A and B are shown apart, each in its own frame.
Chain A
Amino acid sequence: MSCKSCDAGHFRSSLEYTCPSHGGWGMVRIGMLIPESHQIFVCPSACGRHGALGAIKQGLKNRLSYLYLEESDVISGYDDAIYDAVEELLVRLQKRPKVIIVFVSCLDDLIGTDENAVMAELSNRYPDVKFRMGHMNPIQTDSDEPPLVSIWKNVYSLMERTVDTVKPAVNMLGNYVAIDEKSEFIKVLKELGIDVYHIENLNTYEELKDMGNHALNILLTSAVEKVAGQLEKEQNMAYLKAPVNYNLKEIKAGYQALFEKLAEIGQLGGSVSSERIEIPAKVEEILIDSEKRALSAIQKAKMLIGDRDIHIDYSAFVHPFSAAKFFYENGFSIKKIYAKEMDENDADYQWVKNETDIEIIPIKKHDIVHMWKEHEDSISIGLEAAYVSGSRHVVSVFQDEKMYGYHGICLLMEHLINCIKEDVDLEDVINKAGLVV
């Protein structure tokens, strides 16, 4: 069955359907990336249920507490209740946290708790603990600071520059999981004498703080642009936007941009001239070899998959239209993109819409309940696509996880080849993914 809104070619505002496959890491899990931190949610009990159950699944619940609000708290304000709860929390926790995020939910945006005052009071009472005010407020989804932007701001604003001479290291920001350690990106930087850091691999708050002394922040998603801009302004931390891309030319251009940035901030040794940035031969060699591997992986996957239809979604790829372009241009039978939203200014979206017959399906539109399980033989990349299409062959990845650069293409092709080897128990996969809306 076709979907009217797709025929209309736009995403009209509608009631939103929530597939069982819908969700992501959620505020709790992202905030938990901060080592030695604890979270306390101050909200009606209902607001915390999905986050708490998700945290139990992830083994994080011992770092998550709740202060449930009653109607009377909403009417009279709850600043004092927060102070009392934090005091009790610090008494009862066996290990004192280095960081506490006090989360509020949507309703706080309407009653206007003075968060600066609350943070100042808590910092004054407990100077050995860093406090942040978190907002689990999807009601702000359309604003300039939606929840994802807000939580990344909380996380990375804990980085602190304390030295004049920065360390030869870069921080990867905005991706939930560190890129694969076999990636040529890590090898290239290692060859240049630069270490690569990701918050997932840290053990202590001090290590996170110390990331502020690294030379460059590399932004993988737009959700971290705000905090990166703030860090640049307030602490002189340089940044470079370098999102995941599967287009070979774009990857090559991305490396060139990286080298230029490293040269600009004095991290490329003595091989910089005004005319041209000279890259060590070994680095060139790594990149050429990696590109060849990627091309070979594409050929192999194409041979094994043949003309099988491929459906992708926004949960698997941060930029699903760009990913679709990669599949299309490399001869794969990409048929559907399940998207949550689209940006008319996105060139890849326009290309898909105007130059291809790939169907764009708004995954949250109300009539999605009428259209599923019609494509069991297809391959789905992403759980939303899998659920609606009914694909037996599924690649369960979330937001390009681990994939970056040429090696990212190799990983993606490996996932494709592996997924056709067996039928998936989608309900089991979804449950194990521990998604939180």
Chain B
Amino acid sequence: MGKLCMTLPPFSPDYSGVCSALFPFDTLTVLHDASGCTGNYTGYDEARWFRSRSPIYCSGLREIDAILGDDEKLIQKILYALEDIKPEMIAVVGSPVPMVIGTDMEGIAAEIENRTGIMAVGFPTTGIKYYPQGIAMVYKKVVQRILEEDNTQAVKEENTVNILGATPIDFGRSGTIEELTKFLEENGITVRKTLWENVKKSDVVQLKHAACNIVVSNAGIELAEYMEKEYGIPYVTGLPYGEKYADIWLAEVKKVLTGETSKVSSAAGANEEVLGSIKDSAESSAKILILGEQVQCNSIRNAIFAETGENCDVAGICGWDNRFAEAKDTFLESEAEIEQILNADKYECIIGDPLYKDLLHTDKKFCVHPHYAVSSKLGNEETRSLIGKKVF
């Protein structure tokens, strides 16, 4: 997000993405900050925090430590905590101050691993970037590393999938991931692992035995591509939103499970044979704008198209991949850009987080689809799963 921002709250930052993705792991996670950054994550970016016992901590960084570059103090606090907490892994996560003073988060992690013998990972997050980068960082530095260090052969199990890219920062308390799992299981597909619930290192190596990866957010793409390259596991992006599109999406998954190549189910042209030519309809001006996480927005678009034949434009925040975008889709980088597109005359209906309503200059039809990275728990009451259900 660029420059002056007068209406919207700042969106979930990269370090929250790291902590959220690490939450299910048996990890002692330390956010290297004074307190506010940890408060962002625990207070507003982690829908699972209440009654959880995940050992995610603040380092209690103080000015004198920053000035002296006293990394040993942090290391000693972690060693002290290890007297009571017995994790499989340790993570040290950066914030704005470590960025400014150039703290070597990866170096600190290496030192901790060397002293304790416990796998330790450093994340050079800054609080300037957004949560998808943080989630992707965990997949790259933790999941890929565990997979690479495992020497066992990948043995594909038929009709099994992993769910990648699921964190509450995208799905909040909507129940979407739980319902996705149920939907797949009801249709004869076993979900091997979801990087969402409690997982051990030994569970992570099981990821490579799945026949297909389901990628439910932008943040999961990189890991899916890695697993396709290393283990030959194809992937399908998107979610079975809507009544009609759920069946179409399921058919795509089944095709991939029986040997077809990966399906980026929301990319331009990818669904032409089942959905008709979205690309052609895109030439005529869409009247609906969907604003939010790109993979979810694409799935909502497909669901609406399947139900009504009406096309929508998608605008993304925080993370974006042009490969999954239609011609008129766009990535928004400031509140001014969001305000401009929301108020564009051509859009008669907006689908997005309720806080975007405050940027509308005139009355428009507004369908609420809360995005936890924007409104956090303020959107809890309006959030719902769209799996297999009429979207709007």
- A368-392 Cβ-contact flags toward B at 8 Å (1 or 0): 0110000000000000000000000
Task: Select B57's contact among A16, A22, A137, A431, beta carbons within 8 Å.
Answer: A16
Minimum distance in angstroms from B28 CB to a CB of chain A: 8
Q: Is the CB of B58 within 8 A of A4?
A: no
Cβ-defined contact, A45 with B1, below 8 A: yes
Q: Report whether A15 and B57 are in contact in the complex, using a CB–CB cutoff of 8 Å.
A: yes
A437 touching B43, Cβ below 8 Å: yes
The answer to whether the Cβ of A113 comes within 8 Å of any Cβ in the partner chain is no
The interface bits of chain B over 1-40 (1 if a CB of A lies within 8 angstroms of the residue's CB, else 0) are 1111111111111111000000000000010011111111
Distance (Å) between the CB of A41 and the closest chain B CB?
A: 9
Which residue of chain B has the shortest Cβ distance to A86 in the bound complex?
Answer: B4
**CB of B286 closer than 8 Å to a CB of A:** no
Give complex CA distance A337, B376 in Å. 31
Query: Does B39 contact A111, Cβ atoms closer than 8 Å?
Result: no
Query: Which A residues lie within 8 Å of B54 (CB)?
Result: 369
Kindly list chain A residues whose C-beta atoms are within 8 Å of the C-beta of B51: 20
Of B12, B42, B80, B376, which one neighbours A18 at CB under 8 angstroms?
Answer: B42
The answer to the question of B327 belonging to the interface, with a C-beta cut-off of 8 Å to chain A, is no
The reply to whether A20 and B50 contact each other, CB–CB distance below 8 Å, is yes
Inter-chain CB contacts under 8 Å: number:
200
Q: Is A23 an interface residue (CB 8 A)?
A: yes
Partner of A89, one of B6, B37, B97, B127: B6
Cβ contact within 8 Å between A366 and B55 = yes
The listed residue with most A CB atoms (<10 A of its CB), out of B49, B78, B97, is B97
Name the residue on A nearest B36 (C-beta): A138
What is the bound-complex CA distance between A370 and B7, given in angstroms? 40
Q: Which residues of A contact B49 (CB under 8 A)?
A: 20
Size bin of chain A's contact surface? 35 or more
Give chain A interface residues in 57-88, CB to chain B under 8 Å. Answer: 57, 61, 65-71, 74, 81, 85, 88
Among B9, B62, B77, B81, which residue has the most Cβ atoms of chain A within 10 A?
B9
**CB <8 Å contact, B10 and A52:** yes
Residues of B within 8 A of A56 (CB): 9, 355, 378
Stretch at the interface among A101-109, A114-122, A163-171, A313-321: A101-109
Interface contact B4-A142, CB-CB below 8 Å? no
Q: Give 5 A-B pairs besides A18-B58, A70-B128, A139-B62 with Cβ atoms closer than 8 angstroms.
A: A13-B60, A20-B49, A85-B4, A138-B34, A139-B66
A-B contact pairs, 11 of them (CB 8 A): A15-B58, A18-B39, A20-B42, A48-B10, A68-B5, A69-B128, A88-B4, A139-B61, A142-B62, A370-B84, A427-B50
A residues near B, CB below 8 A? 4, 12-18, 20, 22-23, 43-50, 52-53, 56-57, 61, 65-71, 74, 81, 85, 88-89, 92, 105-107, 109-111, 136-143, 366-367, 369-370, 427, 430-431, 435-437
